[in-house]
Amino acid sequence: MAKRFGNKVVAITGGSEGIGLASARLFADEGARVYIMGRRQARLDEAIQEIGNGAVGVRGDASNLADLDRLYERIQRDHGRLDVVFANAGVAEVEPRPLGTIDEEGFDRLFGLNVRGMLFTVQKALPLLSSGSVVVLNGSVAGSKGFPGQSLYNASKAAVRSFARSWTTDLKERGIRVNVVSPGGTETSPMRSYLDARPGVEDMLNQLVPLGRLGQPDEVARAVLFLASSESSYIAGVELFVDGGSIAV
């Protein structure tokens, strides 16, 4: 059977763990030449071993423009083009920060990666993209909700949704599609650590989800690959919720 991403070049920020890593593995399994960016070299090296298939790791922070330049310079040298960008890197506040307790440092950290970093992840990739290329942004159900104490995170993910709308119109003449995948609660390592330290929270979250459980990174990753593939060729500017029905029901 032909592989959907045979010889396609794919870049993933935040690709060394969680949804980014799960997506990188699936892309590589389907023939893609995968480049991932992560901040910690040791974890990046482990991820490259897990992905296999000639995947390449570039150490860097997606909120650092020089690091993004190094990622794309490497891809330019190796292939001279880029077919898929999965702008996945992001951060969330572990502890609630209700209005009245938000400080500059927290704002700059969260918006610096989730909004500024995402914008420049895509903008700096544009010289490598051509007609038929695809951009997938990692959003969140938080962009459509008002979770208490999470106004910074909620707003940053609402910005991601807005980016997809605006960039779909900005890039339509170039034939580049932009869409958002928006996970609900997903059992990544940080999420598991958070839940294990707070007995009862997981049961409470599960009760809010019609399917009654957290999602798995691979389940979100399969949605990412769908949006990045020709199977979604007439889908642009949408937000695909992968949340067990929590937004829709």
Coil/strand/helix, residue 53: coil
Of the residues 35, 72, 153, 234, only one is catalytic, namely 153
Spell out the alpha helix ranges (H) of 183-229: 189-196, 201-207, 217-228
The β-bridge relationship of strands 9-13 and 239-242 is unpaired
Q: Is 194 a catalytic residue?
A: no
Cα(168)–Cα(84) distance, integer angstroms: 15
Cα(160)–Cα(118) distance, integer angstroms: 8
Backbone angles phi, psi at 31, to 5 degrees: 95, 0
- Residue 83 · residue 133 · CB < 8 Å: yes
Cα(84)–Cα(199) distance, integer angstroms: 39
| DSSP state letter for 186 | B
Spatial CB neighbours of 170, under 8 Å, sequence gap ≥ 6: none
| CA distance from start to end of the chain | 37
Cα(69)–Cα(83) distance, integer angstroms: 17
| Among 116, 20, 140, CA closest to 64 | 116
Written as one letter, the residue type at 201 is: V
**Type and span of the H or E element at 107:** helix 104-111
Residue with tokens 């459509």: 144
Residues forming the active site: 153
